[in-house]
C-alpha cells in the first residue's frame, strides 16, 4: 500500500509535540465511597478494573450523545482508563442512560437492562435522565431513568461536559478498585 | 406570484402571517401544487380546528403560509402532490387527531403507548388500547427477507427502528419508524412566554441548538415587532457558523470512519474539540445552548473569547487542506463513498430537500441566501452546489462549506459592533415565522401569541423531515453494509422530527 507522503512530516511532528490527550479529572471521594457501598465484594472481584458501557438514548435531544461521543475523541481517549463503549448489552457492566425516558422508549430500555449480566450499574447522565429535566410533566415522558430502573449514579449537566461524564465513570472504577 | 398554487394561496385573506383558505380552496390545493412543482413544501402542522402549511415561493422570494379550517377532523392530504408532506400528515394525525384524506393512515409518532390519544387536540381522549404493532409496506419477490434494526442501535446514537427488506445483500426497501424520542416538546411550549419557551426550541435537536433557538427567536421578534441589537445579531451569526463548523467536522470525520478510515475521524474530532473548548470559554457552553434568546443573546462574549475562537478557527483552517488531500488520494476511501447512496436531483427537487442533501444533488437552496436575514443580509455566504448526489457529494459539500463558515465566523467576531445585547420584548399579541439555515439545512419556526404575550400555537420544523424519506430512497439498491455510511452522510436528526 502506498503510504501517504504527507503523513511522514506529520508523524515526525507528532513525535516531537505534546500529546493531545487531556489529563484525567479528579473524582470526588464521597462519590466513590457512596458507590462502593452499593457494590458487594463479590461483584468487585468480577468487574475488575475495566468497565464496558452500553449507552442508551432514552429520548434525549441528542446533545448528551454528542458529548458522550466526544469521550472517544483523542483528547479524552476514554479507553486509556479501561472504559469502553460496547455494542451489545450482553457485554456491558454499565448502562449509561441519557434523555428523559420517553414513554415510547421505556420498553426498549427495560429490554436492554434485562439483557445485561449482573453485576451491573445504571448511570443517569444529563438533567433529563435524572428527573426528566425540562421535559418533566409531559404526557410523553416518564421522568428520568429512575422511573424504570435502579439508578446508581447521576451525572448532572445539560448536557454534561465530557469531563463530567469521565468523572462519573471514573468514580465507578475507583469504587470497584477499593475493597 | 407565478403559479397556480401560490396564486390560490395568496388570493385568500390574511390572518396573521398566514392566508386563510376556505375548505374548498384547500381541497383545490393538491391539484394546483401539481401544476406548480417549484413551490417547495417546508412544513405541515395543525392547531385544534385548523391545518397549516408553509411553502417557499422562490420567485418572490418569500415564505407563503396557508391555513384552512378543518371540519370533522378530516382534510384533503397534500402528499399526493408533495411526497414530503406524508410524514407531516402522519404526525398531524398522531398529535392533533386529524386525518389526511388521501394520505398514509399509519401512525408515526404515536406508538399506542401514551396515556392519551391526540394529545395536542382540543380534547385529548384517554388511551385504553394496547401498544400498536407497527405496519410496514409489503415487498414482494423471491428470496426477500426482513432485517429489523433498533430502536436501540449499536453506537452512541439516537433511537429509531429501521426495517430493511433485503434480497441477498441488496436493500430492496428501507422503512424507518421513528417517534421513540417524542417528548411532547410543542405541548410544553404552549402557554409560556417566548423567553420561557426558548429553552424548548434550544432542545428540539441538540446538535442544532443554535439554529433552532435562532429561528425561534426571530419568529418571536417578528410576532412582537422588535429587532435585536446589532451586537446580538453579529454574535448570533458567529454562533450559527461555529455550530455549522463543529457539526460539519463531526460528520465529515464520522463518514470517513464508517468507511474504515479512522485517521480523518481522529483529526476532525480533535479540531472539533479545540473549537468546543473555545466556545465554552467564549459563551459559557460548549454547544452554545440557551445562548440565543428572543430579543437578542443571553450573554456577551467572554473577555478572552474572541482570541480563543480565532485560534481554534486558525487551527482548523491550517489542517483542512491536508485532511482534504488524504480524503482525495485514498482509493479505499473513494471506493466506498463515490457512487454510493445516490440521490437523483429530480427526486431531491420533488421533496424540496435543503442543506447538504439538497446541495449535493443540484438544489442550491440555502436560507441564508434564499431569504437573507441579519447578519447574512450584509455578509452573504458563497454556497457550494454539486450534482453527484452520492455520499462523496454530501461529504464534499460539508468540506467546501467549512472554509466559508470559518471566513464568516472570523469576520463577525473581528468586526463585532459595540452596544446592547438584548432588546425589550413587550407582552403583546402577534404571529411570526422565520427561517434560519442550520448545519443540516433550513430550520423553520412559527408561533402565535395571545394578548398576554403567551404562546397559543407553535411549530418548529427541522430540515430532517425531508431528509428521512430521502435516506430510504438513497439506500435502495445499495448493499446492507453501506447503510451506516449512507445514513451518516445524511445524518438526519431523530429528536428534531420526533418533537
Ligand atoms: S440533559 Fe439537556 S442535553 Fe441532555 S438530553 Fe436533556 S435537554 Fe438534551
Between CA B343 and CA B348 the distance in angstroms is 7
Query: Per-residue pLDDT tens for B180-231?
Result: 999 999 999 999 999 999 999 999 999 999 999 999 999 999 999 999 999 9
Residue pointed to by grid coordinates 385568500:
B12
The residues facing B437 across adjacent strands are B442
Atom 6 of ligand 1 has which residue's CA nearest to it?
Answer: A128
Between CA B117 and CA B94 the distance in angstroms is 7
Average pLDDT for B109-136: 93
Mutate which: A11, A63, A70, A125, vs B, most B CBs within 10 A: A63
Distances, alpha carbon B496 to alpha carbons B161, B197, B462, B463, in Å: 16, 16, 5, 8
Which chain A residues touch B464 with a CB distance below 8 Å?
Answer: none
Sign of the Cα pseudo-torsion (A27, A29, A34, A38, in order): positive
Among B104, B132, B160, B84, which Cα is nearest to B349's?
A: B84
Query: Per-residue pLDDT tens for B450-479?
Result: 999 999 999 999 999 999 999 999 999 999
Hey, what's the cell of B99? 386525518
Look at residue A1 and tell me whether its pLDDT is greater than 50.
Answer: no
Between CA A121 and CA A156 the distance in angstroms is 17
Hey, what's the cell of B207? 446538535
Please give the ipTM for the structure prediction: 0.95
Query: Per-residue pLDDT tens for B267-296?
Result: 999 999 999 999 999 999 999 999 999 999
Between CA B130 and CA B150 the distance in angstroms is 21
CB of residue A158 inside a 6 A radius of ligand 1:
yes
Residue pointed to by grid coordinates 398529535:
B95
Look at residue B379 and tell me whether its pLDDT is greater than 50.
Answer: yes
Q: How many CB atoms lie within 10 A of CB B27?
A: 14
CB of residue A125 inside a 6 A radius of ligand 1:
no
Mutate which: B133, B148, B150, B181, vs A, most A CBs within 10 A: B181
Between CA B202 and CA B228 the distance in angstroms is 18
Phi/psi zone of residue A126: left (φ > 0), alpha (ψ -120 to 50 degrees), beta?
A: left
Look at A6 and B325 and tell me if their CB atoms are within 8 Å: yes
B129 touches A: beta carbon within 8 Å: no
Between CA B32 and CA B34 the distance in angstroms is 5
Look at residue A3 and tell me whether its pLDDT is greater than 60.
Answer: no
Look at A59 and B181 and tell me if their CB atoms are within 8 Å: yes
- pLDDT at residue A5, rounded to an integer: 55
CB of residue A173 inside a 6 A radius of ligand 1:
no
Sign of the Cα pseudo-torsion (A94, A99, A100, A102, in order): negative
**How close B113 gets to chain A, by Cα (Å)?**
6
Q: Average model confidence (pLDDT) for chain B?
A: 96
Look at B180 and A134 and tell me if their CB atoms are within 8 Å: no
Look at residue A6 and tell me whether its pLDDT is greater than 60.
Answer: no
Residue pointed to by grid coordinates 479505499:
B332
For chain A, give the number of residues: 179
Between CA B496 and CA B203 the distance in angstroms is 9
Look at residue B1 and tell me whether its pLDDT is greater than 60.
Answer: no
Between CA A113 and CA B469 the distance in angstroms is 31
| DSSP 3-state of B64 | strand
Between CA B274 and CA B310 the distance in angstroms is 11
| DSSP-derived secondary structure for B363-397 | ----HHHHS--TTTTTSPPP----S--SHHHHHHH
Look at residue B435 and tell me whether its pLDDT is greater than 90.
Answer: yes
Give me the phi and psi of B476, to 5 degrees please.
-55, 135
**How close B326 gets to chain A, by Cα (Å)?**
7
Beta-strand ranges (E) seen in B192-316 are 292-293, 296-297
Look at A70 and B326 and tell me if their CB atoms are within 8 Å: no
Between CA B268 and CA A70 the distance in angstroms is 11
Atom 3 of ligand 1 has which residue's CA nearest to it?
Answer: A159
Least reliable range by pLDDT among A41-45, B36-40, B414-418, B423-427: A41-45
Among B155, B271, B99, which Cα is nearest to A62's?
A: B155
Between CA B104 and CA B87 the distance in angstroms is 8
Give the atom of ligand 1 at the shortest distance from the alpha carbon of A100. 6
CB of residue A128 inside a 6 A radius of ligand 1:
yes
Please give the DSSP secondary-structure letter assigned to residue B118: S
Look at B207 and A62 and tell me if their CB atoms are within 8 Å: yes
Query: Per-residue pLDDT tens for B11-56?
Result: 999 999 999 999 999 999 999 999 999 999 999 999 999 999 999 9
Between CA A115 and CA A109 the distance in angstroms is 10
Query: Per-residue pLDDT tens for B320-372?
Result: 999 999 999 999 999 999 999 999 999 999 999 999 999 999 999 999 999 99
* CB of B50 closer than 8 Å to CB of B70: yes
- pLDDT at residue B134, rounded to an integer: 87
Q: Average model confidence (pLDDT) for chain A?
A: 87
Least reliable range by pLDDT among A40-49, B254-263, B290-299: A40-49
Chain A with chain B: Cβ pairs closer than 8 A: 147
A21 touches B: beta carbon within 8 Å: no
- pLDDT at residue A14, rounded to an integer: 60
Give the atom of ligand 1 at the shortest distance from the alpha carbon of A127. 1
* CB of B166 closer than 8 Å to CB of B146: yes
Amino acid at each position: 500500500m502506498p503510504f501517504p507522503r504527507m503523513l511522514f512530516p506529520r508523524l515526525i511532528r507528532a513525535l516531537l509535540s505534546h500529546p493531545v490527550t487531556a489529563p484525567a479529572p479528579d473524582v470526588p471521594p464521597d462519590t466513590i465511597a457512596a458507590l462502593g457501598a452499593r457494590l458487594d465484594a463479590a461483584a468487585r472481584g468480577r468487574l475488575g478494573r475495566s468497565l464496558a458501557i452500553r449507552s442508551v438514548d432514552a429520548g434525549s435531544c441528542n446533545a448528551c450523545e454528542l458529548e458522550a461521543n466526544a469521550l472517544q475523541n483523542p483528547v479524552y481517549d476514554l479507553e486509556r482508563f479501561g472504559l469502553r463503549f460496547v455494542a451489545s448489552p450482553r457485554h456491558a457492566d454499565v448502562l449509561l442512560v441519557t434523555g428523559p425516558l420517553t414513554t415510547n422508549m421505556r420498553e426498549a430500555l427495560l429490554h436492554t437492562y434485562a439483557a445485561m449480566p449482573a453485576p451491573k450499574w445504571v448511570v443517569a447522565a444529563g438533567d433529563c435522565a435524572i428527573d426528566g429535566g425540562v421535559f418533566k410533566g409531559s404526557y410523553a415522558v416518564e421522568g428520568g431513568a429512575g422511573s424504570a430502573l435502579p439508578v446508581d449514579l447521576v451525572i448532572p449537566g445539560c448536557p454534561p461536559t465530557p469531563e463530567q461524564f469521565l468523572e462519573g465513570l471514573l468514580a465507578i472504577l475507583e469504587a470497584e478498585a477499593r475493597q | 406570484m407565478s403559479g397556480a398554487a401560490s396564486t390560490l394561496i395568496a388570493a385568500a385573506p390574511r390572518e396573521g402571517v398566514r392566508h386563510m383558505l376556505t375548505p374548498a380552496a384547500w381541497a383545490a390545493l393538491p391539484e394546483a401544487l401539481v401544476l406548480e412543482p417549484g413551490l417547495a413544501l417546508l412544513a405541515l402542522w395543525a392547531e385544534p380546528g385548523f391545518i397549516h402549511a408553509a411553502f417557499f415561493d422562490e420567485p418572490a422570494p418569500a415564505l407563503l403560509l396557508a391555513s384552512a379550517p378543518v371540519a370533522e377532523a378530516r382534510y384533503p392530504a397534500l402528499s399526493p402532490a408533495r411526497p414530503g408532506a406524508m410524514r407531516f400528515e402522519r404526525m398531524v394525525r398522531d398529535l392533533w387527531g386529524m386525518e389526511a384524506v388521501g394520505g398514509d393512515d399509519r401512525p408515526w409518532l404515536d406508538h399506542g403507548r401514551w396515556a392519551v390519544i391526540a394529545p395536542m387536540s382540543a380534547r385529548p381522549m384517554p388511551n385504553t388500547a394496547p401498544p400498536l404493532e407497527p405496519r410496514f409496506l409489503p415487498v414482494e419477490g423471491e428470496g426477500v427477507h426482513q432485517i429489523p434494526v433498533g430502536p436501540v442501535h449499536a453506537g452512541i446514537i439516537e433511537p429509531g427502528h429501521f426495517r430493511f427488506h433485503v434480497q441477498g445483500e441488496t436493500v430492496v426497501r428501507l422503512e424507518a419508524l421513528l417517534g421513540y424520542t417524542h417528548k411532547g416538546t410543542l405541548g410544553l411550549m404552549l402557554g409560556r412566554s417566548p423567553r420561557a419557551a426558548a429553552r424548548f426550541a434550544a432542545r428540539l435537536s441538540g446538535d442544532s441548538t443554535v439554529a433552532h433557538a435562532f429561528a425561534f427567536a426571530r419568529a418571536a421578534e417578528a410576532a412582537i415587532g422588535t429587532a435585536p441589537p446589532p451586537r446580538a445579531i453579529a454574535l448570533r451569526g458567529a454562533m450559527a457558523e461555529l455550530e455549522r463548523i463543529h457539526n460539519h467536522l463531526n460528520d465529515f470525520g464520522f463518514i470517513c470512519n464508517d468507511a474504515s478510515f479512522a485517521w480523518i475521524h481522529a483529526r476532525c474530532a480533535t479540531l472539533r474539540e479545540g473549537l468546543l473548548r473555545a466556545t465554552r470559554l467564549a459563551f459559557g457552553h460548549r454547544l452554545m445552548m440557551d445562548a440565543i434568546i428572543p430579543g437578542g443573546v443571553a450573554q456577551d462574549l467572554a473577555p478572552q473569547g474572541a482570541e480563543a475562537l480565532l485560534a481554534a478557527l486558525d487551527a482548523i483552517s491550517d489542517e483542512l487542506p491536508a485532511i482534504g488531500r488524504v480524503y482525495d488520494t485514498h482509493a479505499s476511501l473513494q471506493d466506498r463513498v463515490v457512487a454510493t447512496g445516490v440521490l437523483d436531483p429530480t427526486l431531491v427537487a420533488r421533496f424540496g430537500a435543503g442543506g447538504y442533501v439538497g446541495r449535493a444533488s443540484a438544489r442550491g437552496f440555502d436560507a441564508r441566501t434564499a431569504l437573507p436575514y441579519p447578519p447574512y443580509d450584509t455578509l452573504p455566504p458563497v454556497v457550494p452546489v454539486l450534482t453527484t448526489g452520492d455520499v462523496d457529494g454530501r461529504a464534499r459539500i460539508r468540506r467546501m462549506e467549512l472554509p466559508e463558515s470559518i471566513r464568516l465566523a472570523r469576520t463577525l467576531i473581528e468586526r463585532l459592533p459595540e452596544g446592547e445585547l438584548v432588546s425589550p420584548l413587550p407582552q403583546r399579541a402577534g404571529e411570526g415565522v422565520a427561517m434560519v439555515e442550520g448545519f443540516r439545512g433550513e430550520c423553520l419556526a412559527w408561533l402565535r401569541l395571545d394578548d398576554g404575550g403567551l404562546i397559543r400555537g407553535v411549530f418548529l420544523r427541522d430540515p430532517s423531515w425531508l431528509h428521512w424519506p430521502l435516506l430510504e430512497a438513497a439506500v435502495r439498491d445499495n448493499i446492507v453494509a453501506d447503510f451506516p455510511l449512507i445514513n451518516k452522510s445524511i445524518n438526519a436528526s431523530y429528536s428534531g422530527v420526533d418533537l
